[in-house]
Structure 1
């Protein structure tokens, strides 16, 4: 079925003259504008614009289509405006992408404070970058920056990945090996311990292990749990090891339910960025979210002290 948004995009391209100007007016990415236009042209079976280096020039069929739809589109936009104005619920909806850990620890408790609607999405960072670029997401928290020219990144925090263990775990031998600096023996000892991980965050363990021992782990974790929060809760009453971001375990360390066995050498850390489109209809709402997350980001003390 034809998508009415294709007609809206077509109308704006016709009036703006370029794909970039249309994208700016519609608050979506230029690839998104191109996708709408190509979909409409494919449905119509004809080119609607001739692509010039400086301007989109409507073909004869494009001009005919514009003249046919313009009155209808203007009436629909007027109806949309009146409906929105009279609606009892005028809250905008902002879509945000982040890791489940950041959401659970930094944002979940503040949802009721938001003066707008919120849609959260969890996934891998390349996918979130793509969805931010095409307009599906409005804000992402990411350690990875894309190359899309219409996206903007602002650093706001650092996360360090640390080796933690349950408070009942005997680390006497590990501490002695660490004091000696015997990396081969450390790797051997750790390889036979009980390990926790999540299906989506095995990368944390791989990065830490590779930095510390110059290879990937050769063992399979014994416990694969649904989230990092689950790992912390299980380790609080048990034994074993896991690699997690430091900001997630500050409270547990302060409460002595888990302890940091090693910060790694060299340390593994990321800079986290707020990623958003340079042109957005939700600048005020995004700033509200950024302030909440920055304010509630934990100021962890030196974890090994």
Structure 2
């Protein structure tokens, strides 16, 4: 029979990107992670990841499996989390929902200094809003505001969704088309390029493409990676395109590792909010997290401030 722990290990490898990072997250040895993965692949009858010396890249079947199990795994983790909160009442456990990029860039380095337990959740914004309402999450970072009366939203920054490319990407023809504002030719040229995206989220690309060309992209990105951070590392000093929030690539742009190819027309801008329940059980812990994230948020040149 299949072991459900294999699915947990598979999910963490998919999201962490390496066997060593997965082993750290699961508190087991790297050989143990490799054994779980090889057992699952043997059971499934095909490879779920392509391996190299630096990262694990999900195969098409691996991506399909992740999309099939992610909702079920999240529900099991929620049940585990609720049980943990009841059994560890002496030390608060705060649950936060955000994108993987925000977590990696703004919060990950500060986990060890937190004076409370932390559980992070990565998912779609509507799902996070619902989990905030029902008490599964205590704080979310979101560009979308719900209409629930028990929730409070505080704007803290604004992001712009931009088209970037590696600094080795040849864009002379693209720049010429931009000067002419030839949308049909721009769409054709971009559709033939190599694009990067994440496995679980094509929202940025779809919104950018729809705003600029009044249609969804007709192509599939060539490279599907675990996170936006992985995309930036692959693009840095390389070739290819991706659509990402500007705050995630400030350092890479400043260091000329990547460049902004196009801000879109019209540009896509979002106000980001801290969302929480009006009567939270952990107001001090939530304030602590908000201060860490706000303090470490990159100040991109020309970045807009929220207006509401």
Q: Displacement, 1:302?
A: 3.9
Q: TM-score, normalised by structure 1?
A: 0.69
- Paired with 1:121 and 1:219, the residues of 2 have a C-alpha distance of 30
Is residue 189 from structure 1 mapped to residue 186 from structure 2 by the alignment?
no
Q: Displacement, 1:203?
A: 1.1
**Largest Rg, 1 or 2:** 1
Question: In structure 2, what is the equivalent of residue 161 of structure 1?
Answer: 161
Structure 2 unaligned regions, length at least 5: 1-86, 304-308
- Paired with 2:296 and 2:281, the residues of 1 have a C-alpha distance of 25
Q: TM-score, normalised by structure 2?
A: 0.68
Question: In structure 2, what is the equivalent of residue 254 of structure 1?
Answer: 254
- Paired with 2:250 and 2:237, the residues of 1 have a C-alpha distance of 17
- Paired with 2:98 and 2:295, the residues of 1 have a C-alpha distance of 17
Q: Which secondary structure state, in structure 1, belongs to the residue aligned with residue 168 of structure 2? A: coil
- Paired with 1:302 and 1:139, the residues of 2 have a C-alpha distance of 28
Q: Displacement, 1:226?
A: 0.9
- Paired with 1:203 and 1:94, the residues of 2 have a C-alpha distance of 27
Q: Which secondary structure state, in structure 2, belongs to the residue aligned with residue 128 of structure 1? A: helix
Q: Displacement, 1:287?
A: 0.6
Q: Deviations over 1:24-67 (max 9, x none)?
A: xxxxxxxxxxxxxxxxxxxxxxxxxxxxxxxxxxxxxxxxxxxx
Report 1:60-79 matches (<5 A): none
Structure 1 unaligned regions, length at least 5: 1-83
Report 1:73-222 matches (<5 A): 90-222=90-222
Q: Displacement, 1:111?
A: 1.1
- Paired with 1:230 and 1:97, the residues of 2 have a C-alpha distance of 20
- Paired with 1:273 and 1:302, the residues of 2 have a C-alpha distance of 19
Q: Displacement, 1:91?
A: 2.8
Judged with a 3 Å threshold, the aligned counterparts in structure 2 of structure 1 residues 171 and 215 are, in CA distance, closer, same or farther, namely: same
Deviating 4+ runs (over 3 angstroms): none
Q: Displacement, 1:272?
A: 0.9
Superposed CA RMSD in Å reads: 1.6
